Structure 1
Amino acid sequence: MDRRTFLATVPAAAIAAPLLAETMPPTHWPAGEDRFLRPDVQTGDRPVGASFASRTAAYGLSGAAGTAHPLATLAGIEILKKGGSAVDAAIAINACLGFLEPTACGIGGDCYAMLWDPKAKQVMGLAGSGASPRALSLETVRARAKNGVLPPLGAISVSVPGTVDAWGMLHARYGKLKWAELFEPAIDLAEHGAPVPDIIAYYIRRSLAAFRKPGTGIEETENALRTYALGGDGPKAGGVFRNPDLARTYRLIARGGRDAYYKGEIAKTIDAYFRRIGGWLSAADLAAHKGEWITPYKTDYRDIGVHALGANTQGIATLQMLNILEHFDTTGAGFQSARSIHLQVEAKRLAYEDRARYYADPHFAQVPAEWLVSKDYAAERAKLIRPDRINPAVRPGQAPSKGDTTYFTCADSDGMMVSMIQSNFRGMGSGLVADGLGFMFQDRGQLFALQDGHPNIYAPGKRPFQTIIPGFATMGDQPWMSFGVMGGDMQPQGQTQIIVNRRDYGLEIQAAGDSPRWHHEGSSQAMGEDGPNLPATGLLRLESGVPEATRKVLADMGWTIGASDGGFGRYECIEHRMDGKDRVYAAASEMRADGCALAY
């Protein structure tokens, strides 16, 4: 007798109590409870796909979106269904995330995008990065530095936010819906509130605790605490959060466009705030800001095209790593093998030496980007890698003379695909929230160098080195993947792992992201990203899913293996496919974050 037949023969009163017990929610254990950190307990068994895959990609014919928060993904899908373009959906998503995920993004930060333009049949690039305040001198910055690095918090680290201007540029060229319509979902969420997911709640509370510590250098914290602390330590997982100040700010932008932020009431409020606290960002700095359309760099990795933004970003590090790896048989090395990981990490070490030496704002320094991404240079660098042991000392090449972030992607029925990344940089940002505006300013200025002669040295009106980079890959003359991996210096490392997993190991896009990752810390740095006292060859962190046999061989090679610390990035991806005459989108989302991907 099966369970259904059995229940039908038993009086209702007899089964009421057991059924009630079955439907009662289980005791809730706090996220990260030690008793559940069990390396001997793995994921459940899926009937198809990779054993480590968390789920299947979402498929659709008309559009797709993947973000770090389900409500932002849903907002993007709703905009697409209203007839909006992928750009319209991306702006709406970003506005929602500024409320839903303030630990990673917001209109106090910068924004970069790559997109497939189906009419032009090419990848377009946009750099929405703001400059340092013109009234802030190098002498003042050096006087505030600690151990040769700019402080991570307070007005000294604030540069002009470029996000809202980037939205305006994207919408002017590719928008279909009215500008004001794009802010309706975010305004509604900010006014009526939304439950905070576990990971976002954790990071809000951790950031607020950091802001409260003595000696942070933050000029004032009352506004940030009033906006985010909810009268306590911050929202708890599942607790409802509202931000009416941000809703009001969004209404001003919806009515007045990007000028409301850079020349209108918002700019005046920002100017008055920084004057009040003794900071440097001014209305003049905001009025002078303008993002720029840029042509992405491209390299061919085996049979696919991989695109990256130059400007003041670390985007070309991905291209450098892939160019080097192309000289090795990563497929033959084996998926999750010690040899495969070793080759990838050594390529990273070489590329990041150049990253520390050359990457900067090209308006202020001559960045030899064409040489850095060339196949000839990669061939020279590849000769420095030994497949069976570590190169003990890597250096940047000799040029010829002459974090916390959110990523999201969406695609529409016309074939446009948008890869977009936006960030306040470290943590929630600088700790500063202007009076009544409801958003925090970025601390991106910390990534300036202070050494004389360095291309990334601080200067007034200069854009700092940027870690945030969208990703894009093409196949032939068609778009293939719009993707990104958030997380400071992890981003080129993560992007490379996605391409290798997808191209060399044949993993589908969800499994390519769910696969255990590595993260190497300890290359030469000009921006103080790594912790102190690292081994000479750095620290190689491995997620718990990396096989024990692989760990042992890597340690025998000489790698110092670090613990899994959660710093392995967060991934979203949309893949473009053709099934006969039908365009099919497959959308994948990060299992390490609170988000989801949807398609329709």
Structure 2
Amino acid sequence: MTRDFQLPGRSPVHAREAAVATSHPLATSAALEILLEGGNAVDAAIAAVAVQGVVEPHMTGIGGDCFVIVTEPDGRMIGFNGSGGAPKAAMPETFADLGVSRFEPTSAHTVTVPGAVRAWETLLKAHGTRGFDRLLKRAIGYARDGFTVAPRVAHDWANNVEKLSVHDHTRACYLLNGAPPAAGTVLKYPLLADTLSAIAEGGADAFYSGPIGEEIASTLAKLGGLMTADDLAACHTTAVSPILRDYKGHTIAELPPNGQGVIALLILGILERFELETLDPLGPERFHLEMEAARIAYTVRDQFVTDPGFMDICHTSLVTDAYIDRLAGMIAIDRRLADIPGSSLPPQTDTVYLTVVDKDGLSVSFINSLFNEFGSGITTPKSGILLHNRGYVFTPEPGKAQSISGGKRPLHTIIPAMALKDGAPWLSFGVMGGHYQACGHAHLLTNIIDYGMDVQAAIDAPRMFFDVETHALNIESTVPARTVDSLRYRGHEASIATTAIGGAQAIMIDRERGVLTAGSDPRKDGHAAGL
């Protein structure tokens, strides 16, 4: 598809040596700086995400988790699960004794061990060429000397005043006399700068042990939390093998649970049963099939996907041809499924995303998150760490896939991805947007594979998603009105979304021409760049 240059939009970025795509311009610049110095894709990704933890504090930071896929030029790949577990004392019976029947998003009980910093260090030891002392330099500088608030960041910040007002230290850090900062406001975070400097000098242990780790535990304890210094000190990153499944001649790689990557593969498998390429990419049939496939797949997710040590089934059983055939058979082209009972599904047995490809062909697909915007809203008073609330997906009730348990890793929505063609790296990509991400992976890939869009057009294309509880559709305003009307005729409850849905970055690798093509979502502040 050719871009209409009379319409607002972006061209994809073409480069020969290296490419970067992030959701913030300062992060993209930090990655390019490292690449120009001779660092590799892993080094550049760490430098970029550290900057994002300062300049996009609502989306990511050292108080969150991360997942990464690293792919060698020959197609060999390894995944890194940088998510932390629940405190050892966090058992259903404990919460029953405390009288806690559900978790609130700003509760200390939703804070699981932040796994990001340990994962960054593990990743650098395995594949990097630089140390934290160099790679955190830009992030430390922005935190200490100041940065300007970007427009999309300011927009999101303004929607979180109530959350940011709950805890004193968070209010002092993230509101200005009780108000959110406007775009262009210069902010400084000297406490966070000191913490990043400690990590730069002492590595991940400086975060998980000693005064910083003790302060995280004591801050949560004062709010009734159960996390201890021992829980933090025990944090580790797990190396995992990605799950692979083909889609129309392309091999798609996702990380296994506790992430939802297997659900992206399940959606693609269902959609492959229909002739998607014959449908209008903005038409009601395409979106109806995508939403129905996603509704079924997410019901499967909520029923089964969690920490693999606690799953009743093997995740591979969710992407077998026989199981996918059964689920695809539930879909009618002319009407919405009224109900998707969980009993019919057993098989037979907010966030930043960035990607970097370097001159040697090493590809990094990297995602780092606080879960909800500004995470738990809890900030440590001395170290300035904003803690995530990934444990909000847990329930204190026993006997469920998402029941909390000591050391258990929660279900994660954040999922990096890679795609191979003829066994070699072809697309490094990811989608932001909480629960939307698995659906977003399928949407982006089908835009490229079925409809021939370049990476930027595929990212720009209109989106929709559903409320994960009511299944009512939220539709971006750029979706044609006739499509919305037809979806309602099929039985979907639909409304126009009040804000853009998610974000995405992608880099396509053309080995024959020796060209990288990168795209970054205009729904965010960032951009793609190349060398």
CA shift, 1:144, in A, is: 7.0
CA shift, 1:400, in A, is: 4.9
Match of 2:295 among 349, 356, 366: 349
Compared with structure 1, are the counterparts of its residues 342 and 47 closer, same or farther at alpha carbon in structure 2 (3 Å cutoff)?
Answer: closer
**Alignment match, 2:146:** 193
The answer on whether the counterparts of 2:30 and 2:44 sit within 8 Å (CA) in structure 1 is: yes
Match of 2:233 among 278, 284, 287: 287
Provide the rounded CA distance (Å) in 2 between the counterparts of 1:285 and 1:542: 42
**Alignment match, 1:515:** 461
1:225 partnered with 2:171: yes
Compared with structure 1, are the counterparts of its residues 263 and 489 closer, same or farther at alpha carbon in structure 2 (3 Å cutoff)?
Answer: same
**Alignment match, 1:399:** 346
For the residue of structure 1 that corresponds to 2:310, the secondary structure is: coil
Match of 1:182 among 117, 135, 140: 135
Compared with structure 1, are the counterparts of its residues 132 and 52 closer, same or farther at alpha carbon in structure 2 (3 Å cutoff)?
Answer: farther
Percent same amino acid at aligned positions? 35
For the residue of structure 2 that corresponds to 1:363, the secondary structure is: helix
CA shift, 1:253, in A, is: 0.4
Match of 1:595 among 497, 520, 526: 526
Match of 1:154 among 95, 104, 107: 107
Compared with structure 1, are the counterparts of its residues 222 and 117 closer, same or farther at alpha carbon in structure 2 (3 Å cutoff)?
Answer: same
For the residue of structure 2 that corresponds to 1:393, the secondary structure is: coil
**Alignment match, 1:171:** 124
Of residues 78-87 and 390-399 in structure 1, the stretch that sits farther from structure 2 once superposed is 390-399
For the residue of structure 1 that corresponds to 2:124, the secondary structure is: helix
Amino acid at match of 1:65: V
Deviation string 1:351-380 (CA, Å, 9 cap, x unpaired) is 111101000101223343111011221111
CA shift, 1:476, in A, is: 1.2
Instruction: Choose between structure 1 and 2 for higher RCO, CA contacts under 8 A separated by at least 6 residues.
Output: 2
For the residue of structure 1 that corresponds to 2:309, the secondary structure is: coil
1:72 partnered with 2:5: no
The alignment of Structure 1 onto Structure 2 pairs a total of residues equal to 530
Return the TM-score normalized by structure 1: 0.85
Compared with structure 1, are the counterparts of its residues 210 and 387 closer, same or farther at alpha carbon in structure 2 (3 Å cutoff)?
Answer: same
CA shift, 1:98, in A, is: 0.6
The answer on whether the counterparts of 2:302 and 2:401 sit within 8 Å (CA) in structure 1 is: no
Provide the rounded CA distance (Å) in 2 between the counterparts of 1:261 and 1:505: 46
Provide the rounded CA distance (Å) in 1 between the counterparts of 2:433 and 2:44: 23
1:60 partnered with 2:7: no
Provide the rounded CA distance (Å) in 1 between the counterparts of 2:497 and 2:207: 40
Provide the rounded CA distance (Å) in 2 between the counterparts of 1:355 and 1:52: 39
Compared with structure 1, are the counterparts of its residues 48 and 459 closer, same or farther at alpha carbon in structure 2 (3 Å cutoff)?
Answer: closer
The answer on whether the counterparts of 1:75 and 1:93 sit within 8 Å (CA) in structure 2 is: yes
Paired residues for 1:139-538 under 5 Å: 139-142=93-96, 149-212=102-165, 221-396=167-342, 397-400=344-347, 404-522=350-468, 530=469, 534=470, 538=471
**Alignment match, 2:489:** 556
The answer on whether the counterparts of 2:257 and 2:315 sit within 8 Å (CA) in structure 1 is: no
For the residue of structure 1 that corresponds to 2:285, the secondary structure is: helix
CA shift, 1:327, in A, is: 0.7
Return the TM-score normalized by structure 2: 0.95
Provide the rounded CA distance (Å) in 2 between the counterparts of 1:143 and 1:333: 55
Provide the rounded CA distance (Å) in 1 between the counterparts of 2:346 and 2:89: 33
Which runs of 5 or more residues in structure 1 are unaligned?
A: 1-45, 213-217, 523-529
CA shift, 1:142, in A, is: 4.9
Provide the rounded CA distance (Å) in 2 between the counterparts of 1:55 and 1:511: 8
For the residue of structure 1 that corresponds to 2:378, the secondary structure is: coil
**Alignment match, 2:506:** 573
The answer on whether the counterparts of 2:73 and 2:424 sit within 8 Å (CA) in structure 1 is: no
Compared with structure 1, are the counterparts of its residues 392 and 276 closer, same or farther at alpha carbon in structure 2 (3 Å cutoff)?
Answer: closer
Compared with structure 1, are the counterparts of its residues 53 and 126 closer, same or farther at alpha carbon in structure 2 (3 Å cutoff)?
Answer: farther
Alignment RMSD (CA, Å) = 2.0
Deviation string 1:292-337 (CA, Å, 9 cap, x unpaired) is 0111111101111111111211111100000011110011122111
The answer on whether the counterparts of 1:542 and 1:561 sit within 8 Å (CA) in structure 2 is: yes
CA shift, 1:210, in A, is: 2.6
1:126 partnered with 2:59: no
CA shift, 1:567, in A, is: 5.2
Compared with structure 1, are the counterparts of its residues 437 and 497 closer, same or farther at alpha carbon in structure 2 (3 Å cutoff)?
Answer: same
Amino acid at match of 1:584: V
CA shift, 1:49, in A, is: 4.6
Provide the rounded CA distance (Å) in 1 between the counterparts of 2:396 and 2:172: 34
For the residue of structure 1 that corresponds to 2:379, the secondary structure is: coil
**Alignment match, 2:476:** 543
Provide the rounded CA distance (Å) in 1 between the counterparts of 2:47 and 2:414: 20
The answer on whether the counterparts of 1:543 and 1:564 sit within 8 Å (CA) in structure 2 is: yes
For the residue of structure 2 that corresponds to 1:321, the secondary structure is: helix
Deviation string 1:131-156 (CA, Å, 9 cap, x unpaired) is 1112333234357788x642111211
**Alignment match, 1:21:** none
Amino acid at match of 2:70: L
Provide the rounded CA distance (Å) in 2 between the counterparts of 1:407 and 1:521: 22
Provide the rounded CA distance (Å) in 2 between the counterparts of 1:117 and 1:552: 46
Provide the rounded CA distance (Å) in 1 between the counterparts of 2:450 and 2:99: 44
Amino acid at match of 1:596: H
Provide the rounded CA distance (Å) in 1 between the counterparts of 2:238 and 2:114: 14
Provide the rounded CA distance (Å) in 2 between the counterparts of 1:207 and 1:282: 28
CA shift, 1:398, in A, is: 4.4
Compared with structure 1, are the counterparts of its residues 150 and 278 closer, same or farther at alpha carbon in structure 2 (3 Å cutoff)?
Answer: closer
Provide the rounded CA distance (Å) in 1 between the counterparts of 2:257 and 2:501: 25
The answer on whether the counterparts of 2:500 and 2:523 sit within 8 Å (CA) in structure 1 is: no
**Alignment match, 1:104:** 59
Deviation string 1:453-498 (CA, Å, 9 cap, x unpaired) is 2122111221111111112111111111111111111111111110
Provide the rounded CA distance (Å) in 1 between the counterparts of 2:81 and 2:155: 30
The answer on whether the counterparts of 1:336 and 1:546 sit within 8 Å (CA) in structure 2 is: yes
**Alignment match, 1:17:** none
Deviation string 1:206-245 (CA, Å, 9 cap, x unpaired) is 3233332xxxxx5xx1211222223441321111011111
CA shift, 1:74, in A, is: 0.4
Q: Which has the larger radius of gyration?
A: 1
Compared with structure 1, are the counterparts of its residues 395 and 53 closer, same or farther at alpha carbon in structure 2 (3 Å cutoff)?
Answer: farther
The answer on whether the counterparts of 1:112 and 1:420 sit within 8 Å (CA) in structure 2 is: yes
CA shift, 1:579, in A, is: 4.2
CA shift, 1:516, in A, is: 0.6
1:136 partnered with 2:67: no
For the residue of structure 1 that corresponds to 2:29, the secondary structure is: helix
